[in-house]
Amino acid sequence: MSENLLEVKGLKKYYPIKKGFLNKTQGFVKAVDDISFAVRRGETFGLVGESGCGKSTTGRSLLRLIEPTAGEILFEGQDIRKLSMEELRKRRRDMQIVFQDPFSSLDPRNTVERILEEPMIVHGVGDAKERKAAVLRLAGG
C-alpha cells in the first residue's frame, strides 16, 4: 500500500464565463490553477487561504463532485479521474465532504433519522433493522 493516502498533481479547475444571448464562453475563472500536494496516511492536512482562493473547488474536484479541468488525483494509488461512475460510487464510502453550510449537510425537509440513514441506503449497508440500530447509536440513543 502506498504511503500517501492522497496525491494531487497539477490540479486545475477553470470555470467558463458565459455571456450574452448566445451564451458564448468569454473567458475562464481559474479557480484552481496547477496545485500539487500529498496527504500521508494518518495525517491531518489543512488547506488555508483567503476567500475565493479555491479551497472548496479543490475539495469538490477531489471527490469529482465537479469535473476537474486537468490534473491527477490519486487516492490510495488509484486515479479518481479514471474511475467509472460505479467505481467512483464505491470509492465515495471512503471519501467525504462535511459541508460547513448547515443547509447543505442537514436538509430541513428531512428528519435527522432520514439524513443519518440515507448514506447507508446509498451504499447498501445492512438491512432496515440494522440501519435503524446504527442511526440510534449514532444519535446517541
Ligand X SMILES: Nc1ncnc2c1ncn2[C@@H]1O[C@H](COP(=O)(O)OP(=O)(O)OP(=O)(O)O)[C@@H](O)[C@H]1O
Binding site for ligand X (CB under 6 A): 15, 29, 31, 49, 51-57
When the beta carbons of 58 and 131 are compared against Mg ion, the nearer one is 58
Beta strands per DSSP E along the chain = 4-19, 24-40, 70-75, 78-79
Closest distance to Mg ion from the beta carbon of 96 (Å): 16
Q: Which does 51 bind (CB under 5 to 8 A by kind): ligand X, Mg ion, none?
A: ligand X
Rounded Cα–Cα distance for residues 97 and 132 (Å)? 23
Q: Which does 25 bind (CB under 5 to 8 A by kind): Mg ion, ligand X, none?
A: none
Closest distance to Mg ion from the beta carbon of 49 (Å): 9
Q: Which does 52 bind (CB under 5 to 8 A by kind): ligand X, Mg ion, none?
A: ligand X
Residue 56 touches Mg ion, criterion: CB under 5 A? yes
Q: Which does 61 bind (CB under 5 to 8 A by kind): Mg ion, ligand X, none?
A: none
Rounded Cα–Cα distance for residues 72 and 1 (Å)? 18
User: Residue 36 is placed in which grid cell?
Assistant: 500539487
Residue 11 C-alpha from the chain's centroid: 14
Instruction: Answer whether 30's CB lies under 8 Å from 12's CB.
Output: yes
Residue 61 touches Mg ion, criterion: CB under 5 A? no
Identity of the residue numbered 5: L
Contact residues for Mg ion (CB under 5 A)? Answer: 55-56
